[in-house]
Amino acid sequence: MTNSFWLNVGYYFDANAKLHKKVLKQDALRISKDSVVVLDYTWEEFTTPCRIRELTDLRKVVANYLYKRHMTYHEIGGHLKLDHSTVVYHKKTFEEMLPYDIELQKLNYQFNKL
């Protein structure tokens, strides 16, 4: 706290923004876990290093979803048990493949519809 009214207002505004982002991140993670279960996978199966196409495509969709909900690559990697560079790769390939890959489009639609 300072003697300046405007600096204090800025401090309180920023504290509320950080709290709001934290809640958004927790909600996004909970929604992701629920959506993975609805798509007939368990979260443990989803976070294994298995390289089946359906699971890697789902990881791309989840990584993109969480990134859009203000999570950092490092935070996403921690939840998905991946290195941050792998999360960057998944997000990049998701954006490149989405216009052309029909299966990825269907999976993305199903995930975001839930």
pLDDT of residue 114: 78
pLDDT of residue 100: 97
- C-alpha dist (Å) from residue 62 to 3, 6, 17, 108: 45, 40, 24, 9
CB within 8 A of 33, min separation 6: which ones? Answer: 43
What gap in Å lies between CA 46 and CA 110, rounded to an integer?
16
| Ordered mean pLDDT values, 10 residues apiece, the chain (114 residues) | 55 60 86 94 94 95 95 95 96 97 96 88
In this structure, what DSSP letter does residue 114 have? -
Rg (CA), the chain: 17
pLDDT of residue 22: 77
**Token digits for 32?**
């992701």
pLDDT of residue 31: 93
Model pTM score: 0.83
